[in-house]
Amino acid sequence: DVKVTQSSRYLVKRTGEKVFLECVQDMDHENMFWYRQDPGLGLRLIYFSYDVKMKEKGDIPEGYSVSREKKERFSLILESASTNQTSMYLCASSLQGQGSLSNEQFFGPGTRLTVL
Amino acid sequence: QQQVKQSPQSLIVQKGGIPIINCAYENTAFDYFPWYQQFPGKGPALLIAIRPDVSEKKEGRFTISFNKSAKQFSLHIMDSQPGDSATYFCAASMDSNYQLIWGAGTKLIIKP
């Protein structure tokens, strides 16, 4: 079974703090994604990466950065946390290539971040 | 053009009923339409998916109906159970692009 793990289930930080969210997958997937999930807004893509050291902006990259130094690990960084970044953060991974197998994304359990 | 519109936002159905969740899209280049199921405290997980060359796909009690001309697809849950209570997301993508375009989600509650 694909396993995607996230470093924390719950996190409370103060405004202005630098926040690191870590994600690790164990299935040798090329693609990794960071989403935030807010009620009524679904899943919004923050950043994704299709290879080590490669990254692409998603729909809402402002206020975030990412790092992918190793294939299995994708980190989301909030440079200076703000209250409007309070949300559920979900990491996902998928295979690269064409066809249904590469379309399926496997998710971690999420990190609920509260910024005070 | 990249949006996927999902309705309703929430749905309450009695046990044994058939909840129906609808999604609509604009981009005719989409060729893969999955549904994901998310339980509280968990990440979403793929439930069932369809490609536009078929009009219906069944997996157990879950059925996707696909209407290519109307650019709509829907999820039906037969003989619904309280354990089906979850948030359901539709999505769409193109084979050439591994990103998924997500609907806003439907919170489904099945009452005993």
Helix (H) or strand (E) holding B93: strand B86-94
Quick check: A103 and B93 in contact, CB under 8 A?
Answer: yes
Cα separations (Å) of B30 from A47, A89, A93, B26, B95? 21, 26, 20, 9, 8
Q: Residue B2 above 90 pLDDT?
A: no
Answer whether residue A1 shows pLDDT above 80: no
Q: Which of B34, B45, B99 sits opposite A107 (nearest CB)?
A: B45
Distance between CA atoms of residues B54 and B64, nearest Å: 10
Which residues in chain A have their CB less than 8 angstroms from residue B104's CB?
A: 40-42
For B49, nearest residue in chain A (alpha carbons): A100
Average pLDDT, integer, range B52-69: 95
pLDDT above 70 as % of chain A: 93
| Residues A9/A55, Cβ–Cβ less than 8 Å | no
In chain A, residues 31-70 whose CB comes closer than 8 Å to chain B: 31, 40-45, 48, 50
Mean pLDDT value of segment B70-99 = 92
Across A39-72, where does the E strand assignment appear? 42-49, 56-57, 64-70
pLDDT tens digits along A7-18: 999 999 999 999
Does the pLDDT at position B36 exceed 60?
yes
Q: Do A73 and A24 form a contact (C-beta atoms < 8 A)? A: yes
Indicate yes or no: CB of A109 within 8 angstroms of CB of B46: no
Contact across the interface for B43 and A40, Cβ inside 8 Å: no
| pLDDT score at B75 | 98
Percentage of chain A surpassing pLDDT 90?
A: 78
Asked if B25 reaches chain A (Cβ–Cβ under 8 Å), the answer is no
Q: CA of B14, closest CA in chain A: separation in Å?
A: 23
Q: Which of A109, A108, A115 is nearest to A26 (CA)?
A: A108
Using the structure block, give the residue that is written with the tokens 């692409």: A56
Count how many Cα atoms sit within 13 Å of the Cα of residue B88 in the half-sphere of its side chain: 31
